[in-house]
């Protein structure tokens, strides 16, 4: 199989003459506008570097214009040199100004197709289309920019062709039940999950973020030279405060009470800003979140400024992850994310329900054939030995330190280390052990981590790739190990599990994997 597809990928792929398509010409306008963005910094730099010349503004504008022109020229050049072609079995793209690159991605290998619209392309109704193959990020094929209609067409074509590939496969295959529907993408069907403004607002409340301070500090450092005074010099601030704000004067005259009040005010404003930033970020990302169940998979649309539209095939879901936070859990809010072969990073992650109640989450998971843990499910813990060992080791080190202090004549410090340190170690390692739980039922494996904000991973056993037991000298002697389960697109492991349990679990998982006939798995 791999040999064949490799051969396909390595064979010289050429677009038949006069068959290739170009990306949207307007895309070149977007690139030009991006060029303006790139020109701003050099312009400012030039403005300051030229010092007191009368023409410095003119020079700066000239440099900026040159950069915009160059960017425009090169993006025009690469636009003329880029052609894509949708073939019978693959998508081909030829690009490059001096060194030509021809690339072919077989439909079979495409994990999902995502459309992304940033603000400027969106205004011009253009979109960036990405074909994710799970190649590991950098080598993903993407076309910038095509018109919205063309993007939708390409996605449909990929979907149809991929199904076509399956249809051509040997006939001994059991057809997937979903195939029978053969329903077209139902635009007006009820979404299986969506978030209205109110939900997004509540979500935002929990997304406290102080990132704005980091940004401000970074910007302050970057543009320090523009400011008339040194912002890191506290005397300036004290001076400014003393001169201008009567409030501060008033407060300092109030003495200790006033200063405490000041601190509370400061903390309060930080909190307000934090909540506010979280709110804005959440709105920008999750605005009009909508998840649809299409004939073949899930379709997620969201975003305020940058609207994304991702389709992920249901059968490519390898596992589900349900996460929560310590506070939002009190209110019953959780998030559901699918682990799939396609890359899972940052904004393009596969969160299918970022903020939902559990009774909303399970129906979505069920669509990917992932079922909730039964009420009679027996949860197991790893062997406590690993944490006992860790605690003992740390205690011994601490004890040696204490001995060191007592030899040096500080008996009280030594005693304090023992009296405070030992219970802390015991508590810490006991809690660390308590964090881990796992369970399995007939078809799935559950791994849960965390006490206050548990993080649950549910993996259907048949979708696991391999099983590995690992141990070092200490763990082998003590009879525990790490159990690593190969999960495509993610990691799944149970640390500190007793060796017997690990071997038993491995046996069971392997039985589930090999007992499934490969060809019976949905393509």
Partner 1 sequence: MSEETSIEEVAETPISAIGPLGLTQVHPDHKKVMRIKVAIASLVALIPATIVQFAAPVPMGVIIVPVLVLAAFFIWRFPRRRYAYKGYDMGVDRLRVVRGYWWRADAVVPFGRVQHLDVQQGPLERIYGLATLILHTAGTHNASVPLAGLLRADAEEMRETIRQHIKRETL
Q: Give residues in contact with partner 1 (CB under 8 A).
A: 1-3, 5-6, 108, 134, 169-170, 316, 341, 464-474, 476-477, 484-493, 506, 510, 513-514, 516, 518-519, 521, 523
Compare residues 64 and 134 and give the one whose CB is closer to partner 1: 134
Which of these, 447, 446, 454, 443, lies nearest to 513 by C-alpha position? 443
CA R_g for the chain: 30
Nearer to partner 1, 445 or 467 (CB): 467
* Separation CA 394–CA 400 (nearest Å): 10
| Rounded least distance, CB 402 to partner 1, Å | 20
Closest approach of partner 1 to the CB of residue 489, in Å: 6
Closer to partner 1 by Cβ: residue 113 or 356: 113
Q: Which is nearer to partner 1, 35 or 134 (by Cβ)?
A: 134
**2 vs 378 by CB, closer to partner 1:** 2
**Strand 436-440, strand 444-449: pairing:** antiparallel
> How far, in Å, CA of 455 to CA of 133, rounded?
27
Residue 288 CB, nearest approach to partner 1 (Å): 32
Nearer to partner 1, 412 or 476 (CB): 476
Compute the least distance from the CB of residue 261 to partner 1, in Å.
Answer: 52
Smallest distance, partner 1 to C-beta of residue 478, A: 9
Residue 409, Ramachandran bin (φ over 0: left; ψ between -120 and 50: alpha; else beta): left
23-34 b/e with 16+ CB inside 10 Å = b? bbeebbbbbbee
Nearest CA to 280 among 170, 338, 201? 201
**Distance (Å, rounded) from C-alpha 145 to C-alpha 118?**
11
Nearest approach, Cβ of residue 517 and partner 1 (Å)? 8
CB of 346 to partner 1, least distance (A): 17
Please state whether the peptide bond connecting residue 145 to the residue before it is cis, i.e. omega within 30 degrees of 0: yes
Phi, psi for 325 (deg, rounded to 5): -120, 165
Strands (E), 44-176: 83-86, 90-95, 101-106, 112-117, 126-132, 141-147
- In angstroms, the CA 217 to CA 373 distance is 46
Q: What does each C-alpha distance from 177 to 173, 241, 319, 411 come to in angstroms?
A: 12, 71, 20, 74
Chain CA centroid to CA 10, Å? 31
Say if CB 381 and CB 480 are below 8 A apart: no
Q: Which is nearer to partner 1, 357 or 470 (CB)?
A: 470
Alpha-carbon gap, residue 128 to 434, rounded angstroms: 46
Give the nearer residue to partner 1 in terms of CB position, either 22 or 470: 470
CB 453 within 8 A of CB 505: no
How near is the Cβ of 450 to partner 1 at its closest, in Å? 20
CB of 344 to partner 1, least distance (A): 10
3 backbone dihedrals φ, ψ, rounded to 5°: -60, -40
Rounded distance, CA 155 to CA 160, Å? 9
Closer by beta carbon to partner 1, 278 or else 460: 460
The nearest distance, CB 61 to partner 1, in angstroms, is 50
Contact 128, 115 (CB under 8 A): yes
Which residues make beta-bridge pairs with 193?
A: 291
What does DSSP assign to residue 18? T
User: Nearest distance from residue 6's CB to partner 1, in Å?
Assistant: 8
18 sits in the region (left: phi over 0; alpha: psi -120 to 50; else beta) called left
Shortest distance, position 490 Cβ to partner 1, whole Å: 6
Residue 156, number of CB atoms within 10 A of its CB: 13
Structure-block tokens of residue 233: 């010099």
C-beta closer to partner 1: residue 275 or 488: 488
Q: How far apart are CA 453 and CA 335, in angstroms?
A: 11
Closest distance of CB 155 from partner 1, Å: 21
């Amino acid at each position: 199989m791999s040999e064949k597809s490799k051969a396909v990928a390595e064979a010289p792929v050429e677009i038949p003459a006069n068959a290739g398509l170009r990306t949207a010409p307007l895309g070149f306008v977007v690139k030009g506008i991006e060029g303006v963005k790139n020109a701003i910094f050099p312009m400012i730099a030039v403005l300051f570097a030229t010092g007191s010349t009368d023409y410095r503004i003119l020079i700066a504008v000239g440099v900026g214009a040159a950069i915009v022109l160059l960017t425009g020229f090169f993006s025009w050049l690469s636009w003329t040199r880029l052609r894509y072609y949708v073939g019978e079995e693959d998508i081909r793209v030829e690009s490059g100004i001096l060194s030509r690159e021809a690339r072919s991605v077989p439909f079979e290998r495409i994990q999902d197709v995502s459309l992304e619209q940033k603000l400027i392309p969106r205004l011009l109704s253009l979109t960036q289309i990405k074909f994710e193959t799970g190649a590991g990020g950098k080598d993903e094929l993407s076309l910038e920019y095509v018109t919205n209609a063309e993007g939708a067409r390409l996605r449909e074509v990929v979907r149809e062709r991929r199904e076509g590939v399956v249809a051509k496969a040997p006939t001994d295959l059991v057809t997937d039940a979903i195939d029978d529907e053969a329903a077209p993408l139902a635009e007006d069907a009820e979404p299986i999950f969506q978030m209205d403004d109110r939900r997004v607002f509540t979500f935002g409340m929990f997304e406290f973020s102080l990132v704005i301070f980091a940004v401000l500090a970074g910007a302050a450092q970057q543009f320090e030279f523009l400011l008339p005074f040194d912002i890191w010099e506290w005397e300036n601030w004290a001076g400014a405060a003393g001169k201008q704000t009567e409030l501060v004067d008033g407060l300092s005259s109030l003495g200790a009470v006033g200063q405490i009040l000041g601190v509370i005010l400061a903390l309060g404003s930080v909190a307000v800003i934090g909540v506010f930033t979280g709110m804005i970020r959440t709105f920008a990302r999750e605005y009009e979140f909508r998840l649809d169940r299409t004939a073949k998979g899930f379709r997620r649309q969201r975003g305020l400024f940058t609207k994304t539209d991702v389709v992920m095939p249901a059968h490519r879901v390898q596992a589900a992850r349900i996460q929560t936070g310590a506070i939002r859990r009190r209110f019953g809010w959780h998030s559901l994310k699918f682990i799939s072969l396609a890359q899972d990073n940052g904004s393009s992650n596969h969160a299918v329900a970022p903020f939902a109640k559990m009774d909303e989450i399970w129906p979505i998971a069920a669509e990917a054939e992932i079922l909730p843990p039964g009420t009679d499910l027996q949860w197991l813990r790893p062997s406590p030995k690993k944490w006992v060992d860790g605690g003992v080791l740390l205690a011994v080190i601490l004890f040696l330190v204490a001995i060191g202090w007592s030899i040096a004549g500080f008996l009280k410090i030594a005693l304090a280390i023992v009296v405070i340190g030992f219970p802390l170690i015991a508590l810490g390692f006991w809690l660390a052990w308590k964090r881990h739980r796992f369970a399995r039922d007939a078809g799935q494996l559950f791994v849960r981590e965390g006490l206050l904000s548990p993080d649950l991973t549910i993996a259907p056993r048949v979708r696991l790739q391999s099983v590995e037991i690992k141990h070092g000298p200490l763990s082998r002697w003590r009879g525990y190990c790490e159990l690593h389960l190969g999960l495509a697109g993610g990691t799944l492991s149970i640390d500190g599990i007793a060796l017997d349990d690990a071997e038993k679990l491995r046996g069971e998982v392997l039985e589930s994997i090999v007992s499934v006939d490969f060809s019976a798995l949905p393509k």
